A and B are shown apart, each in its own frame.
Chain A
Amino acid sequence: MSSPILRLVAQRILLGLVLLLAVSVLIFAGTQILPGDVAQAILGQSATPEALANLREQLGLNDPAWLRYVHWLWGILHGDFGTAQSSGLDIATSISTRLKNTLFLAACAAIVAVPLAIILGLIAVRYRNGFVDKLISGLALASTSFPEFFIGYVLIFVFAVHWQIFPSISTVDDSTPFLERLQAVVLPATALTLVVLAHMMRMTRAAILNVMQSAYIETAELKGLRPFDIIRKHAFPNAIAPVVNVVMLNLAYLIVGVVVVEVIFVYPGMGQYLVDHVAKRDVPVVQAVGLIFAAVYITLNIVADIAAIVANPRLRHPK
């Protein structure tokens, strides 16, 4: 690989790190603005001032904000997210299993959704403005328009209650074997696929249609290529950047936006964990999860940027 690409990629990664740092400041500052502090939250409204002062001392809450931020960040960099106030459990440990579960579900949904969306997009372009195109767009839009909980319950009704093929509750733990785990996520993954499909499909279609206006598509047509080969061979490679972008956005959604689906299927993932602790006003957990979600978003967007850079032959093969 040549130096301009390396430089651009390094630039993106560095930018991502800076962004992540900025987000961490925002998250920390945000939780500081909330009324009351951790000591108050732990001891409750009826605590004596002495007890509060002692606990504040113990937790280092009397230090200036920037020092507390540095301590917090330092801890995170060493894998220490602190302890959850509500349960007293180590946050890092709780998160690691749940993050694994969330990633597993997201991966299952993505493995189906991404290729399916792209292939449907290609087919829609091939039969653009015709019946097939309208059918694909219509179904995809319809599946997106239904709220996730609706799709979730319909799936449960059909596949878990009526036909009893898949379980309606997707509870898994560390000891669950892989195949069982897979069976457990079939319904939530299907629900997620239906939710993200349309966005990726429509963007693929739009990006390729944009490329289809180019003169080189006419060249391909005048070589006698079949319409689908033109789309696959000549249009798609030039539409990769926008497609990767929207795919990454949806992957990020699959990881950080699955709260509703996780709750419906009682799947022990990050979303459920976050919702539980928001309800309990457990600030350290919310901070930790917020930071992880931000990291996921930023990482995936960097991947999209890098993919767009690498997909550009002008950057890959400089003059």
Chain B
Amino acid sequence: MADSKANSGRLLDIRNLRIEATVYPPGEAPKTITLVHDVSLTLEKGKVLGLIGESGAGKSTIGLSSMAYGRGGVRITGGEVILNGRDILKAGPKGVRALRGREVCYVAQSAAAAFNPAHKLIDQVVEAAMLHGTATRAEAEKRAVALFKKLSLPNPETIGERYPHQVSGGQLQRVMTAMALCSEPDLIVFDEPTTALDVTTQIDVLAAIKDAIRDTHVAALYITHDLAVVAQVSDEIMVLRHGRLVEWGGTRQIIKEPRQEYTNALVSVHEIEHQEQQPGATPFLSVKNVTAAYGGGHVKVLKNVSVDIYPGQTLAVVGESGSGKSTLARAITGLLPPEEGTVTFDGRPLANRLADRPKEDLRQLQMIYQMADVAMNPRQTVGTIIGRPLEFYFGMKGRERDKRVAELLDEIEMGKGFVDRYPAELSGGQKQRVCIARSLAAKPKLIICDEVTSALDPLVAHGILKLLLNLQSQEKVAYLFITHDLATVKSIADSIAVMYRGEVVRYGSKSKVLTPPFDAYTDLLLSSVPEMEIGWLEKAIKGRRMESAGN
């Protein structure tokens, strides 16, 4: 009796959880791997526990186990998951369905993918509440509208009548939070709910989630790889790595006094000291008054943009999604011929259209993309991928080519053993390194890096940035570095262009751009970057001068 009394405030109690999956490596026999090794955690009613770690740490897997769910053939093979006093792993399919969507709800990373495109938002929001009989349709809709209001969605009365594609990503993420709250659950699993959003949108969604958690007294498992984010919403933080517990403690303790080396590495990951280089006498690439549009001139996405890039230096282009950053890259590479304006390279104008450029011009401008895995042919080996530009631009063959491939692999700090591997056999960071090697193989003057670290874990991204800086000092290559992440910009840029709705609103050397006084937009961008500090969120929201474009 005493025991049950002591546990009366306890909502979730996971004991010695073990989760396994069967993998099918190419050319080998299937084998069972363990994703989560005997992890235990407890969560009190109304509290928020942050689960943090890199990809593959088992965060989502553990989070979903609280709904007795294994994603993609993952099996819970050991331990107990005690929710509201009973082991849900023994509940059977019917018992599990009864708790999903009623006692525990889930908020996914990509709300855009998690909403059914064929149904109105309101139908999806009230579905679980009606299914479990916690509300009639009318009650549930009333509750939904109240939640839309609480999450500060525009037009809360009518937004439910829209379809998912008619609502922006940040709004959709809030609608998904409303959907989770609508059946008044005891626990919500937030699985990286702001990772896919712009910083300026992330801060709004984060604040909305935090308010909603406070007002509804719902408990939450908050899964993310961003410590600064989790520090804003969690009471406690659990650090995971390779499916094992690293450290578990109060939020303040984890970010201020981490006891484990790995936690310390996560806390301090953002800082790279990069000495700003002064612009040289003449830029080798100049973008002059470029205007570009999609849809035959209808949608102007670049308006009168001018920037310069100096040899061996980095120009960072920052802004939210839709600000025209990637379009600038497309205009420079000729993928989207500008309507007006010119791009000059080494003192001569570049042909507007990609098809009109000679091979030599193509060689000088290379690109690296955000999604390294889709930028490589999955059926080619690393050696073939890196060797291709050597053959194409320099006509290298046979042993000469292989030697150069080996050198390039060495430069990206990957050994010869990788030559015969396929992209699928590489980690995310390794894939990006191969893409870097492929672009370097052409010996370009400029590499355009389009959000190259956005899809990577912080520690891996850190490694990639360091590599890029090293390569720059060795090869004297210049970067046009497109990103929405200001921490990255500080680490790598020599000059910065801030873009907003197709225009460059602030441009200059790094020190100049990042020194006050700021224009309203740069201020918004800078103040939206989460800082590893308790109470930062409230302060940042209070101090804002303008709304983000995502609203």
Chain A: interface residue total (CB-CB under 8 A): 19
B119, CB-defined interface residue at 8 Å: yes
Given A215-B110, A218-B71, A317-B166, A223-B100 contact (CB < 8 Å): yes
Contact B115 A219 (CB under 8 A): yes
Contact A237 B131 (CB under 8 A): no
Q: Among the listed stretches B101-109, B208-216, B392-400, which one makes contact with chain A, having 4 or more residues with CB under 8 Å of it?
A: B101-109
Q: How far is the CA of A79 from the CA of B156 in the complex (A)?
A: 58
Q: How far is the CA of A216 from the CA of B116 in the complex (A)?
A: 5
Q: How far is the CA of A319 from the CA of B162 in the complex (A)?
A: 9
Contact A215 B97 (CB under 8 A): no
Q: How far is the CA of A35 from the CA of B173 in the complex (A)?
A: 70
Chain B residue, CB-CB nearest to A213 = B72
Given A313-B163, A317-B166, A221-B114 contact (CB < 8 Å): no
* Beta-carbon contacts under 8 Å, B54-108 to A: 67, 69, 71, 96-102, 105-106, 108
Chain A residue, CB-CB nearest to B99 = A224
A314, CB-defined interface residue at 8 Å: yes
How close is B106's CB to chain A, nearest CB, in angstroms?
4
* Contact string against B for A residues 69-83, beta-carbon threshold 8 Å, 1 for contact and 0 otherwise: 000000000000000
How close is A36's CB to chain B, nearest CB, in angstroms?
53
Given A224-B98, A224-B100, A224-B101, A234-B131 contact (CB < 8 Å): no
How close is A73's CB to chain B, nearest CB, in angstroms?
37
A34, CB-defined interface residue at 8 Å: no
Query: Please, which residues of chain B bring their CB within 8 A of the CB of A223?
Result: 100-101, 105, 127-128, 131
Contact B165 A313 (CB under 8 A): yes
Query: Please, which residues of chain A bring their CB within 8 A of the CB of B100?
Result: 221-224
* Contact string against B for A residues 171-184, beta-carbon threshold 8 Å, 1 for contact and 0 otherwise: 00000000000000
Contact B113 A214 (CB under 8 A): yes
Contact A219 B116 (CB under 8 A): yes
A299, CB-defined interface residue at 8 Å: no
Q: Choose from A219, A224, A225, A237 the contact partner of B108 (Cβ within 8 Å).
A: A219
* Contact string against A for B residues 108-140, beta-carbon threshold 8 Å, 1 for contact and 0 otherwise: 101001111111000010011001100000000
Q: How far is the CA of A218 from the CA of B63 in the complex (A)?
A: 14
Query: Please, which residues of chain B bring their CB within 8 A of the CB of A107?
Result: none
Contact A222 B101 (CB under 8 A): yes
The A interface is mostly helix, strand or loop, or mixed, namely helix
Query: Please, which residues of chain A bring their CB within 8 A of the CB of B163?
Result: 313-314, 317
Contact B166 A222 (CB under 8 A): no
Query: Please, which residues of chain B bring their CB within 8 A of the CB of A221?
Result: 69, 100
Query: Please, which residues of chain A bring their CB within 8 A of the CB of B165?
Result: 313-314, 317, 319
* Beta-carbon contacts under 8 Å, A247-264 to B: none
Contact A224 B132 (CB under 8 A): yes
Contact B116 A218 (CB under 8 A): no
* Beta-carbon contacts under 8 Å, A89-115 to B: none
A40, CB-defined interface residue at 8 Å: no
Q: How far is the CA of A56 from the CA of B303 in the complex (A)?
A: 71
A238, CB-defined interface residue at 8 Å: yes
A220, CB-defined interface residue at 8 Å: yes
* Contact string against B for A residues 185-220, beta-carbon threshold 8 Å, 1 for contact and 0 otherwise: 000000000000000000000000000001110111
Chain B residue, CB-CB nearest to A220 = B116
* Contact string against B for A residues 12-37, beta-carbon threshold 8 Å, 1 for contact and 0 otherwise: 00000000000000000000000000
Contact A319 B97 (CB under 8 A): no
Q: Choose from A216, A222, A319 the contact partner of B115 (Cβ within 8 Å).
A: A216
A162, CB-defined interface residue at 8 Å: no
Q: Choose from A222, A234, A317 the contact partner of B67 (Cβ within 8 Å).
A: A222
Chain B: interface residue total (CB-CB under 8 A): 30
Q: Choose from A216, A220, A222 the contact partner of B113 (Cβ within 8 Å).
A: A216
Query: Please, which residues of chain B bring their CB within 8 A of the CB of A218?
Result: 71, 108, 114
A226, CB-defined interface residue at 8 Å: yes
Total A-B Cβ pairs within 8 A: 72
Query: Please, which residues of chain B bring their CB within 8 A of the CB of A314?
Result: 117, 163, 165
How close is A236's CB to chain B, nearest CB, in angstroms?
9
How close is B155's CB to chain A, nearest CB, in angstroms?
14
Q: How far is the CA of A220 from the CA of B114 in the complex (A)?
A: 9
Contact B114 A319 (CB under 8 A): no
Contact A222 B69 (CB under 8 A): yes
How close is A50's CB to chain B, nearest CB, in angstroms?
65
Q: Choose from A222, A224, A237 the contact partner of B119 (Cβ within 8 Å).
A: A237
How close is A219's CB to chain B, nearest CB, in angstroms?
5
Chain B residue, CB-CB nearest to A318 = B166
Chain A residue, CB-CB nearest to B162 = A317
Query: Please, which residues of chain B bring their CB within 8 A of the CB of A226?
Result: 97
How close is A170's CB to chain B, nearest CB, in angstroms?
42
Q: How far is the CA of A83 from the CA of B106 in the complex (A)?
A: 71
Q: How far is the CA of A218 from the CA of B110 in the complex (A)?
A: 12
Chain A residue, CB-CB nearest to B94 = A226
How close is A128's CB to chain B, nearest CB, in angstroms?
13
Q: How far is the CA of A215 from the CA of B127 in the complex (A)?
A: 17
Contact A225 B113 (CB under 8 A): no
Q: How far is the CA of A226 from the CA of B100 in the complex (A)?
A: 11
How close is B129's CB to chain A, nearest CB, in angstroms?
9
How close is B196's CB to chain A, nearest CB, in angstroms?
12
Chain A residue, CB-CB nearest to B127 = A223
Given A224-B102, A317-B166, A319-B165, A219-B114 contact (CB < 8 Å): yes
* Beta-carbon contacts under 8 Å, B265-281 to A: none
* Contact string against A for B residues 269-302, beta-carbon threshold 8 Å, 1 for contact and 0 otherwise: 0000000000000000000000000000000000
* Beta-carbon contacts under 8 Å, B129-169 to A: 131-132, 162-163, 165-166
Q: How far is the CA of A26 from the CA of B116 in the complex (A)?
A: 45
Q: How far is the CA of A313 from the CA of B115 in the complex (A)?
A: 13
Chain B residue, CB-CB nearest to A214 = B113
Query: Please, which residues of chain A bring their CB within 8 A of the CB of B124?
Result: 219
Chain B residue, CB-CB nearest to A234 = B116
Contact A224 B69 (CB under 8 A): no
Q: How far is the CA of A234 from the CA of B97 in the complex (A)?
A: 16
Query: Please, which residues of chain B bring their CB within 8 A of the CB of A319?
Result: 165-166
Q: How far is the CA of A291 from the CA of B113 in the complex (A)?
A: 45
Query: Please, which residues of chain B bring their CB within 8 A of the CB of A317?
Result: 162-163, 165-166
Contact A224 B128 (CB under 8 A): yes
Chain A residue, CB-CB nearest to B116 = A216
Q: Choose from A222, A224, A238 the contact partner of B116 (Cβ within 8 Å).
A: A238
Given A224-B132, A313-B165, A314-B165, A219-B106 contact (CB < 8 Å): yes
Task: Report A's interface with B, CB cutoff 8 A.
Answer: 214-216, 218-226, 234, 237-238, 313-314, 317, 319
Going nearest first, the 8 A-B pairs with the smallest beta carbon separation are A223-B101, A224-B100, A215-B113, A237-B118, A224-B101, A223-B128, A224-B97, A216-B116
Q: List 11 A-B contacts (CB under 8 A).
A: A214-B113, A215-B113, A219-B115, A222-B106, A223-B128, A224-B100, A313-B118, A313-B163, A314-B117, A317-B163, A319-B166
Beyond the given A219-B108, A234-B116, A234-B118, could you list 20 further A-B residue pairs with CB under 8 A, ordered by the A residue number?
A215-B110, A215-B113, A215-B114, A216-B113, A218-B71, A219-B106, A220-B116, A221-B100, A222-B100, A222-B101, A222-B106, A223-B100, A223-B105, A224-B99, A224-B101, A224-B102, A224-B132, A237-B116, A313-B117, A317-B163
